[in-house]
Amino acid sequence: MTVSSGENSADSKCSLSGLAPLEAVLFDIDGTLCDSDPLHYYAFRELLLQIGYNGGVPITEEFFIENIAGKHGDDVARGIFPDWDLEKGLKFMDDKEALFRKFAKEQVKPLDGLHKIRKWIEDRGLKRAAVTNAPRPNAELMISLLGLSDFFQAVVIGSECDRAKPFPDPYLKALEVLQVSKDSTFIFEDSASGIKAGVAAGMPVVGLTTRNPESLLMEAKPVFLIRDYDDPKLWAALAELDQKGAPGAAATA
């Protein structure tokens, strides 16, 4: 899906220029580094069918987007199993994550342009962290499968913070760990929950339209939307940053 760019004033600016000089870039994982939401959807659908959820009718992708995508596991368990005690709901979530990891080992691949943006960041000596609501075993597996274990200097997990996304705590923790300012950092996110967390933490967020509806993402107030890391809109914004003196820009071919 291509991104429409004139309909929203925030989207039409497509600028990160207020950050110069840039110090760090933060990334969500699921849907941001790779298109993994279908694997989560398949895992949920399969296990929910096994327990007869919704009268044995498979959940739809729309249900998944509205009730599951981008949310923390505890919140998902409470939302889809309101009559269960939390411990039982969390056991289901653990089983679902194990099935997801099985799928991921066979099917995960990077979003288009991911290694291009990686090189851009490394060439400029920018700091970087992954910030996710996923459990740590998932996060570390995904990062490893994508060949990014040596790229990220920190991995911040929502459940290891006081509050997970959509609260700002995970992104604020990333700033603290990297020892950078929110005024010199931006974020890549693909969910409304994640965008809200980044905006609440005081940073501009570039939204990826990997799976979630553009209208839903724009309500969370990203600076602009891109389809992937090859999107010309992103590279125009990064070129503007280089012109304003991003670290190491002059040394890069």
CATH code assigned to 9-35+109-251: 3.40.50.1000
Residues 118-129 have pLDDT tens digits of 999 999 999 999
- What pLDDT, on the 0 to 100 scale, is given for residue 10? 40
Beta-bridged to residue 24, according to DSSP, are 127, 185
Q: Which residues of 199-223 are buried (b: 16+ CB within 10 A; e: fewer)?
A: bbbebbbbbbbbbbebebbbebbbb
- What pLDDT, on the 0 to 100 scale, is given for residue 13? 63
d(CA 136, CA 32): 16
- What pLDDT, on the 0 to 100 scale, is given for residue 69? 86
Q: Is the pLDDT of residue 7 over 80?
A: no
Q: Is the pLDDT of residue 243 over 60?
A: yes
Q: Where are the domains of the chain?
A: 9-35+109-251, 37-107
Name the burial class of residue 55, with classes exposed (0-12), middle (13-18) and buried (19+) by CB atoms within 10 angstroms of its CB: exposed
CA distances, 54 to each of 51, 80, 96 (Å):
9, 10, 17
**Positive or negative torsion for Cα 145, 239, 234, 183:** positive
Flag whether the pTM goes above 0.85: yes
Residues 47-97 have pLDDT tens digits of 999 999 999 999 999 999 889 988 888 899 999 999 999 999 999 999 999
Residues 204-213 have pLDDT tens digits of 999 999 998 9
- What pLDDT, on the 0 to 100 scale, is given for residue 8? 40
Asked if residue 197 lies in contact with residue 161, where contact means CB atoms within 8 angstroms, the answer is no
Counted residue by residue, the chain has a size of 253
For residues 232-239, average pLDDT: 96
Q: Which residues of 141-167 are buried (b: 16+ CB within 10 A; e: fewer)?
A: bbbebbebeebbebbbbbeebeebbbb
d(CA 174, CA 153): 10
For residues 123-143, average pLDDT: 96
- What pLDDT, on the 0 to 100 scale, is given for residue 14? 79
Residues labelled as active-site residues = 28, 30
Residues 25-55 have pLDDT tens digits of 999 999 999 999 999 999 999 999 999 999 9
Q: Is the pLDDT of residue 4 over 70?
A: no
- What pLDDT, on the 0 to 100 scale, is given for residue 119? 98
d(CA 90, CA 162): 18
Residues 8-28 have pLDDT tens digits of 434 446 789 889 799 999 999
- What pLDDT, on the 0 to 100 scale, is given for residue 125? 97
Kindly report the average pLDDT of the chain as a whole number. 91
